[in-house]
Amino acid sequence: MLSRDEQTTPTPVVLGGQVESSIDSPDWPIWDQPERDALARVLESGWWAFEGPAEAEFEQRFAELQTARHGLCVANGTVALQLALEALDIGVGDEVIVPGFTWQATAATVVDVNAMPVLVDADPETYCPDPGGIEGAITPRTKAIIVVHLYDSLSDMDRILEIAARHHLHVVEDCAHSHGSQWNGRGVGSVGDIGTFSFQSSKTLTAGEGGFVTTNDEVLFDRLYSLRNCGRRRKGAITPATHDVQSGNYRMTEWQSAILLAQLERFEEQMKTKEQNAAVLDSTLGRIPGIKPMRRDRQVTRRNLYGYVFRYVEEEWQGLSCRAFRKAMSDEMGFEFGAPYRPLNMSSLYRPQTKKRHHLSEQYWDALDPGNYALPVAEHAYRHEAVRVLHQNLLTNPREISQIPKAVQRLRGFLPELLDWERSLPEGEWGAPPE
């Protein structure tokens, strides 16, 4: 190993050095003339609401992308989850197993249908829900499992479907992070009973807001359609008229469908670029002591990424905290190396006991407290281990993406100085990691 005098490594930015790395990441969302033209067509058509030609085309194309028989546009990803639960007739007295390491909507929608979310911990190598934890949480009241394909990993659908079949449970896939990804050649969202997607502004396919549900079951599709559309029956529905339902308006507009069609034209190329760059990072970061890419299961046959995540081992960096490492890498590269979601048992946004309408009984109210759950893997990842890069920062070329492992190596060469730098910072210098 070279001595410090022999090193030519530039000084890290947080120690007073100059920016040595730069990735030309695009602003997100990406848009151009196709989006302008699509919006003009909707404007001039006078068909601004729902079930227009753009929506019909997008529903067909996106369902095909996910290898699902049926697809339906809805108002947003949260609504998609709620409608999935209602279509499966889940409500009062039922339990739904939910990952504790996810965005708050995954659990909040269970509460919104008056069922009980039961939080389970994450697999330490993927941060998706641990199948062993899922099976251990099943009770006679359990009716469904919601799995989340998180950031750049997919849940172990083989094991989860086997558990669900053995216990006669429904499986809902929350695919908000995984548009286009495949498990054993099947699009996510078509593997379980119902899949849900979000088109919110940060997502890899976006219209600012919007959502989608997929299913291979025509009866479920009929129910989802009615639930989305004020209880109205779908034309050609196979479900008897006696099965009409009470519901509200959870539709998406023709404007959003038009934007999504334009975005879809770039999607395959963007996905391919991110998958290639993620493979570069997997192979190069994995050679650096104290850096561990997430496990890539062989069943993942195509991988889109909402964010690239790797694991940082503080003990192998002489105790330099993960928060300090995230800050140093962010300054080094000029974009955020951030924290993952807060686990739901410590999230400031998952607080079901703040709404009176959820006070169905004292027993239910007390059981809703997310503080009842211990999620050690998720808590450790959030506080000490997980490092996240946003998906748009991977829309570059392999030469530029290779600057990330070089920056990590650069920091590693200055560990004593970085430890002194961290000790010199005021308490709470960076604030809490964001949600």
d(CA 407, CA 411): 6
CB 90 within 8 A of CB 274: no
Name the nearest CA neighbour of 404 among 417, 387, 382, 418: 387
- Compute the average pLDDT of residues 107-115: 98
Task: Report the pLDDT value the prediction gives residue 338, as an integer from 0 to 100.
Answer: 97
Band the pLDDT of 355: cuts 50, 70, 90: very high
pLDDT score recorded for residue 3: 46
Q: What is the pLDDT of residues 38-97, one digit of tens each?
A: 999 999 999 999 999 999 999 999 999 999 999 999 999 999 999 999 999 999 999 999
Q: Which of the four pLDDT bands, split at 50, 70 and 90, describes residue 21? A: confident
The pLDDT of residue 2 is above 60? no
pLDDT digits (tens, 9 = 90+) for 52-68: 999 999 999 999 999 99
* Predicted pLDDT at 435: 54
Q: How far apart are CA 179 and CA 77, in angstroms?
A: 12
The H or E element that residue 57 is part of is helix 53-65
Residue 377's pLDDT is what?
98
Query: Residue 185: which residues within 8 A CB-CB, separation 6 or more?
Result: 67, 301
Is residue 1 scored above 50 in pLDDT?
no
pLDDT tops 50 at residue 33: yes
pLDDT confidence tier of residue 6, bands split at 50, 70 and 90: very low
The predicted structure's pLDDT at residue 426:
81
Annotation: CATH topology of 33-260: Aspartate Aminotransferase; domain 2 (3.40.640)
% of the chain beyond a pLDDT of 90 = 90
Residue 427 pLDDT: 72
Phi-psi label, residue 290: left if phi above 0, alpha if psi -120 to 50, beta otherwise: left
Over range 304-333, report the average pLDDT.
97
Calculate mean pLDDT across residues 397-406.
94
